[in-house]
Amino acid sequence: MTKGSRFAGLTWLGLLGLSLVCQWVFAAQTIPLQRQALTSGADFSDIAAVNVAPTPRWVVAQPFDKDSEIPEQQLQNGVYFLLSDFQFLGDKQNREQQFRHFAIKINNVKAVEDYSQLSLQFDPSYEQLQLHQVTLYRHGQTIDKLKDASHSVERHSQSAQVVDGSVNLRLLLTDVRVGDILEYAYTVTGVNPVFDGHFYHRRPLQWNVPIAQQFVSVLWRRDTPLQLQLDNASEGQQLVETHIGDDRNYQISLGQVEGLAVPSDTPNGYDPRLRISFSDFADWSAVATWGWQLFAPKISQSATVISQADLLSAGLTTDEAKATAALDFVQQQIRYLGLEMGVNSHLPATPEQTLRHRFGDCKDKTVLLVALLHAMGIQAEPVLVNTDTGEALDKQLPSAKAFNHAIVQLLLNGQAYFVDPTISFQKGIITERSQPFYGYGLVLSPTTDALTLMPREHSGARIDYAELFNLSQGDTKAARYQVTTHYWGTEAERLRERLASTGSAQLATSYADFYREQYGELAAEPLVIDDRDDGLTISEQYTFTNPWQQDADGDQQFFATENQLSNFIEIPSNREPRPYALSYPLTVDGTITLKLFDTHHWDLNNEHHREKNAFFDYQFEVNFDAAAQQLRLHYRYQSLTPFVTAADFPQYIEALKRIQALNEYGIVSYNSDAKQQQALADKFTKDVLIIIGYWLFAAVLIGLALAFWQSVKQPQHSMQFYSVPWHQVALLSLLTLGGYFFYWSFRNWHYLEQHGITRISAIWWTLFAPLTYLPLALAMWRQQSHYRKVNPIISAGFILFFVIVALVLIVSVVNLALIPVALWWLPPTLALLPLVALVSRMNRKQGIRLNPHWQSYHLLLALAVLPFYAVSLAKSVWLLPQAEPTAGNKLWPSYNVFLQQQRYIKPNESADYFYTDSYFDFRDQGVGFSDSTIFSYRHDQGKSTAQQASFAQVREIQVESLQPLLTKTEVTVVKHDGSRLVFRLPADQSNSAEFIAALKAHWQQYRHQDNTIIKE
């Protein structure tokens, strides 16, 4: 072809292509787009192994109550199961049918979303699915939804690492509404050939949610016996067995079964819910025979396997080293991928296939490892286990379906070891590695006749750590922090997997963020990771800008928190008694060292605490080396049991409470001399200045009153003793806070001294006035008897009366500290009044009448003292704050209005407890809490500080006595983010204990309201 003809040909092709494009564009503009639709209707001929058919004749019809009362408080996702109906058929040809029948009440929009489509799972390689009905009941109408349901088939996917042959038949229903009742039924026929016709089913009869009606039955037509087991049944719940010819029927029918949620922190295998099991396996020996027949033919000694074994064991002289090399190869060089279509669910691949593909699931890797070990001359067998059931496996009926995992048992020097070829992050010689504990396992060998309990002592983990805080630069200064942590066992495997997934940079960031929440801004150095056969070591180094925290009094505080152990001793939020799983076996041992600065006198004491019980052994030691200025905190924890029983759960919680306060250790750098001078100046607050001013003013007035008194007092030569009207005595005692008692006593002892009745100076008698009260009364009585005869009985009664009064007076004076200052005047006044009356009576007998003489100094005395009583009265009714914690119901409304306006508490709340150390104005300082919030505030010299914490934010509440250094109790509220709210209460008041107890009770109430994570 010439150049020109080629050009013409290309031009013609270009025009043709352009024409086709134009026609396509034109067609796209003229033909509307159409949505693709799923296949609709009851015709399922396009799907193999699915059809619509009537309910099988062997099925026993189960009606249900459409009007059953709905327990709305117990529902989840708005669904109430009116009926759960499972019926099984085992025929003579070892075929199996499962009839499944449900009726549900749709109570809200969430239920509409979930049940407007049904997903029915089956494996078309060996199962057929027959649809019987999909029906809606609405206001007396019966609507057949199978006629117009759209459908599709989707491959069932367990995870990215498992390829399953199962599919989901998805039925999309139209026009489903709240209030509808949905009933559907179908039958799955067939059984996986890998089970060789064996029959086993295990059905829960109690779910997380309530069920109105349940029915489970098995129609057994085979000659082999069928074992049955009903677990956790209560009285009246039992299987019913009937015989019709050669058919045996086992069934159980239950009504109104309550839901039961199982917390996720319970031990593996713990399930207190009602369940039923059926199995035609006679014993575990029969199961082992079945498994051995599947695995044994695959464990071949082919040239490929032998070659690989020789390559791995080259240069190795011990069986331990060879077994370790084989295990490392299978764990790290054969990736996990399960092709579990059909019989592949339990039938392993050959070692050659696994080596060629370099992938396999647990059974494939197990067969490969056993084959390699055999080629190395090491005895080994496959073992079937259940990672969920654990030690409860031996309580189940024997069955091939009782297992979900395969591992290897090998013998080295007569010692059995269990290894898991699917764990990818183990290191070290095989005899020293952590061995997984799965409870009971079934060793697949011709001689196995029972389950084998795996050894627990080779499992578990250990953590050792050493932390150093270099605080030698002083408080408010930067500090260096170093921590080295060594992990063994499962903890090392967990860290290796995390590093492989996220990388060391991400791990370093998460660590730095964690410390930043505790100690503020920091600079972090790169992590140093040393991963060896004997464990994984991570070394960290940080520089904290200022890890100290200033409290309300200006002191600097530093808290060293134990971080490695806290996760294992955290108090569960759900306190309902139940079996509780512990990390076992586990040992955590660590030291935290604080290098302190030597410019401060550290008053630190050595301590030793130990809490050893049936659950764990916890030790905490504090050692202070004053010469080296180093504080050493040593922690050690060892779990002693794999789980706590339900009966022991309350004791376990109490044991945890006893060690919670030891999880954190705080030191305080009190103000230096310069800071103390500043603190002294700060203490001259408004309250102090007012009080000092008042007492100076009162002292001036009292001084003036004494001067006036000296200038106007007159002798009383004609009177018997010092006679004053009783009401004047009472008022003057009030104005002098009871001091008038001493003056009145002095005047009367002076009278006795002048008349020669006593030779002891009146001053000495007065100094011990409470003790000399009785001698004074007796002297006055004898003086009266001198003028007038008195009946001896009356005299004896008088003496007895004044003996009692004297004793009461002495007791009152001794316990004066327990009496409010405003009432100090009352005991001496009550003691004086009988003597005042006696003196007045003696003078009246002589015709001397007394009139009160009020002088100007009395007015000055009143002006000096009455403000004190006014303040005391205001404090007693909380018009002015008291220096003690108090319940919120004693506060005036103005307190709560202020707290609400400042947003310390919510607008609709009030303070439950409150304390302020302010003398006059509660707005200057206060701490307390409401139903939802803890608050602390201070306004002083133009500076304002306020802190708040909702109870939902609180992780821990710590209480520490500061005595004898300070008569204070320090309360530290630790939040989940590591920040703290610190305040102090008086240590010598019972109200402080009530405040703290109420605070902790509020917090515990919030913790109990946390939702429980449940096992599905």
Task: Report the range out of 338-352, 793-807, 808-822 with the highest average pLDDT.
Answer: 338-352
Is the model's pLDDT at 356 over the cut of 90?
A: yes
Q: Is the dihedral of CA 813, 816, 820, 822 positive or negative?
A: positive
Quick one: residue 196, left, alpha or beta (phi over 0 = left, psi -120 to 50 = alpha)? left
Backbone φ and ψ of 521, nearest 5°:
-60, 145
pLDDT, position 306: 97
pLDDT, position 952: 83
Query: What pLDDT, in 10s, does the model give residues 936-980?
Result: 988 765 566 788 888 888 888 888 887 766 778 889 998 877 788
Answer with the residue of higher pLDDT: 916 or 490.
490
Is the model's pLDDT at 700 over the cut of 70?
A: no
pLDDT, position 869: 62
Rounded average pLDDT over 636-652: 96
- How far apart CA 534 and CA 539 sit, in angstroms, is 16
Of 424-428, 640-644, 966-970, where does mean pLDDT reach its minimum?
966-970
pLDDT > 90: what percent of the chain? 54
Backbone φ and ψ of 456, nearest 5°:
-90, -25
pLDDT, position 101: 98
Rounded average pLDDT over 528-544: 96
Rounded average pLDDT over 433-461: 94
Cβ-defined contacts of 393-397 (< 8 Å, 24+): 393/269, 393/439, 393/440, 393/451, 394/440, 394/451, 395/231, 396/202, 396/229, 396/277, 397/200, 397/202, 397/227, 397/229, 397/277, 397/278, 397/279, 397/281
Query: What pLDDT, in 10s, does the model give residues 84-111?
Result: 999 999 998 888 999 999 999 999 999 9
Backbone φ and ψ of 410, nearest 5°:
-130, 155
Residue closest to 630 by CA, chosen among 547, 560, 704, 568: 560
Rounded average pLDDT over 396-413: 97
Q: 496 in helix, strand or coil?
A: helix
**The token pair that represents 396 in the structure block:** 């189940």
Is the model's pLDDT at 38 over the cut of 70?
A: no
pLDDT > 70: what percent of the chain? 81
Of 199-203, 267-271, 721-725, 909-913, where does mean pLDDT reach its minimum?
721-725
pLDDT, position 684: 44
Answer with the residue of higher pLDDT: 860 or 60.
60
Of 28-42, 468-482, 736-750, where does mean pLDDT reach its minimum?
28-42
Of 366-370, 493-497, 518-522, 919-923, where does mean pLDDT reach its minimum?
919-923
Is the model's pLDDT at 693 over the cut of 60?
A: no
Helix (H) or strand (E) holding 541: strand 535-544
Residue closest to 476 by CA, chosen among 677, 672, 680, 673: 672
Of 126-130, 350-354, 711-715, where does mean pLDDT reach its minimum?
711-715
Rounded average pLDDT over 602-613: 91
Pairing of strands 162-164, 338-340: parallel
For residue 513, the tally of other CB atoms under 10 A from its CB is 11
Task: Report the range out of 80-89, 153-162, 544-553, 862-871 with the highest average pLDDT.
Answer: 80-89
Is the model's pLDDT at 114 over the cut of 50?
A: yes
- How far apart CA 356 and CA 345 sit, in angstroms, is 20
Is the model's pLDDT at 639 over the cut of 70?
A: yes
CA distances from 886 to 265, 877, 913, 914, 928 (A): 40, 12, 6, 6, 9
Query: What pLDDT, in 10s, does the model give residues 185-195?
Result: 999 999 999 99
Mean pLDDT across the chain, nearest whole number? 84
- How far apart CA 485 and CA 500 sit, in angstroms, is 18
pLDDT, position 663: 87
Rounded average pLDDT over 605-613: 93
pLDDT, position 673: 46
pLDDT, position 1012: 33
Helix ranges (H only) for 428-545 are 489-519
pLDDT, position 410: 97
Is the model's pLDDT at 7 over the cut of 70?
A: no
Rounded average pLDDT over 685-707: 49
**The token pair that represents 36 in the structure block:** 């693709």
Is the model's pLDDT at 678 over the cut of 50?
A: no
- Burial (CB count <10 Å: 0-12, 13-18, 19+), residue 988: exposed
What is the pLDDT confidence band of residue 766, given thresholds at 50, 70 and 90?
A: confident
Helix (H) or strand (E) holding 588: strand 586-595
Do 549 and 974 meet the contact criterion of CB atoms below 8 Å apart? no
Look at the block and give the residue holding tokens 């409010």: 820
Q: Residue 201 forms beta bridges with which residues?
A: 278
- How far apart CA 150 and CA 157 sit, in angstroms, is 21
**The token pair that represents 3 in the structure block:** 């150049």
Of 276-290, 537-551, 600-614, 907-921, where does mean pLDDT reach its minimum?
907-921
Answer with the residue of higher pLDDT: 531 or 763.
531
Rounded average pLDDT over 617-633: 95
Look at the block and give the residue holding tokens 């040393």: 530
pLDDT, position 645: 97
Task: Name the amino acid, one letter, at 186.
Answer: Y
Is the model's pLDDT at 810 over the cut of 50?
A: yes
pLDDT, position 53: 95
Is the model's pLDDT at 909 over the cut of 60?
A: yes
Q: Is the dihedral of CA 64, 67, 69, 71 positive or negative?
A: positive
Query: What pLDDT, in 10s, does the model give residues 557-596?
Result: 899 999 999 889 999 989 999 999 999 999 999 999 999 9
pLDDT, position 30: 41
pLDDT, position 922: 73
Query: What pLDDT, in 10s, does the model give residues 849-876?
Result: 665 555 555 565 566 666 666 666 666 6
